[in-house]
A and B are shown apart, each in its own frame.
Chain A
Amino acid sequence: MLPWTKNSRSMPRFIASRLYIALFFITLAWGILATQSYHFALDDTAEFYLIEDAENALFFMSQGLGHDFVNSEFRQSYLTIEQLPADIKATVKANMPPVNQAILIASPLYDSYVLPYSSSGEIADIYIVHRFAKDDSINIIPYQLLIGLLAFFALALVVKFVVTRIGRQTQLMASKISRLTSASNGPESPLVFADYQYAFNVIEQYYQAQHQALSREKDFASFLSHELRQPLARMTNNLSLLDQIDQLPLRSLAIIADMKLTNKALSQLTTMVLQLWQNSTEHKTSVEFTALLTEHIRLFDETRLTIDTQIVASPVTILANVNMVALLLKQLLQNSKQYAATKVLIELSARQLKISNDVRAGSIETLSEDSQTHGYGIGLVMVDKACQQLDWQWQQSAENNLFSVTVNFSRARG
C-alpha cells in the first residue's frame, strides 16, 4: 500500500477497484449467460430431434411399420396421453403443452423432453418422449462456471500486475521528486511511462528555477552583508583607535561621540536591513512575545514620555523567527518614540499588538482625514517588510491626534 493511501484515494487503488468490479460483473454475466444459453441450446437441440423422431414415427406408421419403430432406450413414442409413462403423464396433463412444442420435465432420476406432435392439426397425432437418466449425462454448467472463475482470477492477476507496476512507477516518481528537495545523490531509475516522465520533468524544471532564484538571493544577501559590514567595521575600528589616542583636544570629544552614535545607528540599521533579506521562515522557535515586548519597552526608559501598557495577563507565546520579531518590535517602538509628543499606549492581547501615540507638533504633517500616508516613513517601511517576512498583518490608523499601528500575529500563535 502506498504511504499516502491511508486517508486518500490512490491511482492504483482507483484503477484496481474499478477493474475488479468490472471483472466481477463480467464473470457474473458470463455465469448467467452460460447457464441460460446452455439450457436454451439444449432445448432447441432436443426439440429438433423430437420433431425429427415424430415425423419418422408418423412415416413409419404410414408405412405400416408401427410408430414404435423409432423407439430406443431413451426415445419413446406414444399415440395418446394415457400411454405416457406415469411419472410424466400427470405433468403433461396438467400443463397441456401446445402441439409441436417440446417441454422439459425434470424428475429426480430423469430429464424427459416431451413433444406432442401433429403434422397438420391442433390435436397431437403422436407423443415423442426423450428420456435421459440424470446419471448418464454430465452437467457442464459447473464446468462453465469454473471456467468463468478461472478466467476471472487470471484477469485479476493481470490487473494486479498492471496496477502494481503503475503503483511502483508512481512511487518512483514521488521518490525522484523528494530527491529534488533533499538534494540527495544516488542512482536514479528512469520512469517507464512517458506521462509520468513529462510531469516529473516539469516539476524538476520548476524546482530548479526556484532553487536557483533562492540561491541567487542568498548569494546576494551574503555579498551585501559582506560589502556593508566591511566598511562599517573599518569605521568602528577607527573610532576605537581614536579611543586609544591620548591628549585628544577637548573639542574633538563631542565630535567623536557623535560619530560613535551615528556609526552605531548605521550599524543597527544595516543589521536590520540585512535581516530583512534573510529568509525568516527558517529558524522558527517558540518566542515569549510578552517578555520580548517588555524588554523592548525599556527603550522608553530615558524619555519623558508617559508609557501606558495594557498587556494580557497570560503570557503570549508565538512561533516565529525571534530576530525578526525583535526587529519589528524595535522598529515599532522607535517609531513611536520618535514621533510621540507626551504619551505612548501599548496594548497587547492574545492576537495583536497595538501601539498608539500622540503626535509631536512639527514631527510630521498634521494628521488629517486622509491618513493613508501620514507617518509612513522609513520606520513603517521596515515594519511592513518585517511583517511580510513574518506573514503577519498590520495596519495604521490616525484619529483625534492619536497615531496607531496594529500588528496581528494570530497565525503565529504557538
Chain B
Amino acid sequence: MIVLFVEDDQKLAQQTIDFLALEDIDVDYVSSISAAKQVSMAQRYDAIILDMKLPDGDGTLLAQYFQRDRPETPIIFLTGQDNISDKLSAFDAGALDYLTKPFELAELTIRLKLLLTKGRTRQSNFILADLSVNFAEKILSRGKRAITLSPQQWILLALLAQQSPAYVSKQQIIATVWPDQDVSNDMYKSLLSRLRTNLTGVGENCLLFSAKKVGVALRAAMD
C-alpha cells in the first residue's frame, strides 16, 4: 500500500510517515501542489492525504485536480481549522474523509486502511464484545475507537486471541513475544500494561485479565 502525503509542515509530515511505515504503509511525501502533481504523473497511489493550506494554494484545488485525473483514488483531508465551511469545501472537492488537527495517528491509519479495503469484504478475524480485530490488515477497533499497537503488542494480542478465553501463561507469552531475548519482569509488565491500556478506553470494560500463577486471558468477563 502506498499513499501520497502533501503537507507543508515537515516535522508533522515526518512523524506521520514514521508512524505509517510501522503500519506497513509506504508514503511518498511532497510539500506543495506543484510537486504533488509532478509525482502523481509517475506513480499511482492507493490514497492521497492532503493538507488544506499549502504554500502554493488551497488543498481543495489539488483535490479537484486529482478528482479529474484520478477519480478512483480516495482523498483524506487534514486541516488545522474546525469550521463547517472548510469541511464542506473538502467534501465538495471530492474528499472521502476529513480529519482536524490534532488527530490521532491511529485514527488516520485506520481510516486509510478502511478506505483502501472499501469494496472488499472485510472480515474480522477476532471479535470479543465490542472489540474487533483484523489481523491480516492490522485493523483494531473497540466500538468507535481506533487502536494502534506496537509490533510486540500485536504479537501478544494474536496469541491471546488465539487462546481466548483461556489463560496464557507468562512463559508462553515470553517465548512468543521475545523468542531469542532475555526478558526482565519490567519488560513483561510494561508490555501487558500497554496492551491493557490500549484495549481499555474510558468507560470500557476490561478485556484483559491476569490470574496469579496462571497467566493472562483475553475474555469478556472475569469468572
Task: Name A residues whose Cβ lies closer than 8 Å to a Cβ of B.
Answer: 222, 225-226, 228-230, 232-238, 240-241, 243-250, 253, 257, 263, 267, 271, 274-275, 278, 283, 301-302
Contact = CB atoms under 8 A, between A and B. Distances in A.
A234 B190 contact: no
Contact of B203 (A235, A275, A278, A302): A302
B187 A235 contact: no
B12 A243 contact: no
Contacts of A225: 80-82
Nearest to A245: B150
What 8 A-B pairs have minimum CB-CB distances, sorted nearest first? A237-B15, A240-B105, A233-B102, A233-B101, A229-B80, A236-B102, A226-B80, A232-B102
Interface in B168-204: 186-187, 189-191, 193-194, 197-198, 202-203
Interface of A is mostly: helix
Nearest to B193: A253
Contacts of A274: 82
A241 B16 CA distance: 9
Nearest to B152: A246
A222 B81 contact: yes
A127 to B, nearest CB: 103
B58 interface: no
B19 A241 contact: yes
Given A246-B152, A247-B187, A301-B203, A240 B80 contact: no
A244 B100 contact: no
Nearest to A279: B83
B186 A243 contact: no
Contact of B105 (A237, A250, A257): A237
B106 interface: yes
Contacts of B15: 234, 237-238, 240-241
A238 B198 CA distance: 16
Interface of B: 9, 11-12, 15-16, 18-19, 22, 53, 80-84, 100-106, 148-153, 186-187, 189-191, 193-194, 197-198, 202-203
Nearest to B21: A244
Given A230-B12, A237-B19, A253 B83 contact: no
A237 to B, nearest CB: 4
Given A240-B105, A240-B148, A243-B198, A250 B16 contact: no
Contacts of B80: 225-226, 228-230, 233
A237 B22 contact: no
B18 A241 contact: yes
A278 B42 CA distance: 42
B153 to A, nearest CB: 8
Contact of A253 (B22, B81, B101, B190): B190
Given A237-B16, A240-B148, A250 B190 contact: yes
A238 B104 CA distance: 10
A389 to B, nearest CB: 14
Give the one of B22, B80, B194 with max A CB within 10 A. B80
A249 B11 contact: no
A274 B105 CA distance: 22
A232 B80 CA distance: 10
B19 A278 contact: no
A246 B150 contact: yes
Give the one of A228, A237, A302 with max B CB within 10 A. A237
Contacts of A283: 84
Nearest to B99: A233
Contacts of A271: 82
Contacts of A275: 82
A236 B104 contact: yes
B19 A240 contact: yes
Contact of B190 (A229, A230, A248): A248
A250 B102 contact: no
A304 to B, nearest CB: 16
Given A233-B101, A237-B105, A253-B197, A246 B81 contact: no
A226 B193 contact: no
Nearest to B23: A244
Given A222-B81, A237-B105, 12 more contacts: A225-B80, A226-B80, A233-B102, A236-B103, A240-B148, A243-B194, A244-B148, A244-B151, A250-B186, A253-B190, A253-B193, A278-B83
21 contacts: A230-B80, A230-B101, A233-B80, A233-B102, A234-B11, A234-B12, A237-B12, A237-B19, A240-B148, A241-B19, A244-B22, A244-B150, A249-B190, A250-B187, A253-B190, A253-B194, A253-B197, A267-B102, A271-B82, A274-B82, A301-B203
B170 to A, nearest CB: 15
A166 B156 CA distance: 85
A245 B151 CA distance: 8
Give the one of A225, A238, A257 with max B CB within 10 A. A225
A237 B83 CA distance: 22
Contacts of B198: 243
A225 B100 CA distance: 11
A272 to B, nearest CB: 11
A264 to B, nearest CB: 9
Given A250-B193, A253-B193, A230 B19 contact: no
Contacts of B148: 240, 243-244
